[in-house]
Amino acid sequence: MKKITRFLFCTFVAIMLMGTAISATACHQKEEYPSVPEVTEPQPTGEIIPTVDRQKELKDARKKYADTVAWLYMPGAEVDDPVVQAEDNGFYLNRDEQREYSTWDCYYADCRNHLSGRDALDTNTVIYGHSSNDCDPDGVRFIKLHRYMDADFVKENPYIYLSVDGDDLIFQITALFITDTGFDYIDPNPMGSKLTELFQTVEKKNWLDIDGVTFSEEDTFLTLSTCCRKYDKTNSGDQRLVVMAKLLPEGAAAQEFSHHFMDVRAGK
């Protein structure tokens, strides 16, 4: 009986030691993997929406890329990159942040925009990026804007974050649509009737039916624009996928809202 007891005890100790060794090895291996990217979750209604601090990344990017003016972070869309700006919008059309030739270019702000701080923003800050013919939402650059064509994705990722000098800004997604370039949605400072007409046109084109989140004429907003071949039936090359988001005030609280995706009809 003593031998059996001793055998069982030794077996138990051996198993415990093996488990500890395996656990220690697993922990060691886990430390070798890169850290998990930062993901923000939508806040419960009434809670303050936390900002995402990208000031260090912005500062480092300015040292590396001379034309850096902002940092764009879009959780869920795998966008966490610098935004550059040139004196004309054609300069970065086929260049990367280092001003070298690139098929996929970079994220660049409209040359007319001012991004030196929250109070310096134009009414409409526009950022451009490339897309591809297949419009694959898992592709590079702004091809990922196609992910926002899923209402559930928008519900889980309602905010876009833009860091400028000294300010980490939060924008709430308000509209998504396809348009041709005949619609001047990239005007940096539409005023009066032009602003009213812009919002009216956006409302007509909007494929996201958002209950509780709308534009007002006092808003400052962010516009993300990319080519869209999928709905370019005539191969005109002038179709664009556009995501628009309104700037939230500092210390804004999460609010109740619901999204659903409307019938997809190009030229709505």
Give the domain CATH number at 217.
2.40.260.10
Q: How far apart are the first and last CA of the chain?
A: 85
For residue 75, the one-letter residue type is P
Domain contains 41: no
CA distance 196 to 192: 6
Write phi, then psi, for 73 (nearest 5 degrees). Answer: -130, 125
State residue 41's pLDDT score: 60
Domain contains 42: no
User: Are 54 and 38 contacting, i.e. CB atoms less than 8 angstroms apart?
Assistant: no
CA distance 3 to 191: 92
- pLDDT of the chain, 268 residues: tens digit per residue: 434 444 444 444 343 333 333 333 222 232 232 333 454 566 666 789 999 999 999 999 999 999 999 999 999 999 999 999 999 999 999 999 999 998 778 999 999 999 999 999 999 999 999 876 666 666 677 888 989 988 889 989 999 999 999 999 999 999 999 999 999 999 999 999 999 999 999 999 999 876 666 788 889 999 999 988 777 778 888 899 999 999 999 999 887 666 555 554 444 4
State residue 121's pLDDT score: 97
Domain contains 18: yes
State residue 143's pLDDT score: 85
Report the length, in residues, of the chain.
268
What torsion, rounded to 10 degrees, do the Cα atoms 247, 181, 111, 97 define? Answer: 90
Domain contains 266: no
Domain contains 46: no
Tokens of 201: 């046109």
Q: Which structural domain range is residue 109 located in?
A: 55-261
Domain contains 100: yes
Domain contains 185: yes
Verify that 214 and 107 share a domain, yes or no.
Answer: yes
State residue 9's pLDDT score: 41
Contacts of 52 (CB under 8 A, 6+ apart): 38, 40, 73, 161, 163, 168, 170
Structurally, the chain folds into a number of domains equal to 2
User: Are 115 and 85 contacting, i.e. CB atoms less than 8 angstroms apart?
Assistant: yes
State residue 231's pLDDT score: 78
Verify that 10 and 114 share a domain, yes or no.
Answer: no
Domain contains 49: no
- The residue whose two tokens read 């930062």 is 38
CA distance 71 to 82: 4
Which residues make beta-bridge pairs with 247? 171
Asked whether the whole model's pTM tops 0.75, one would answer yes
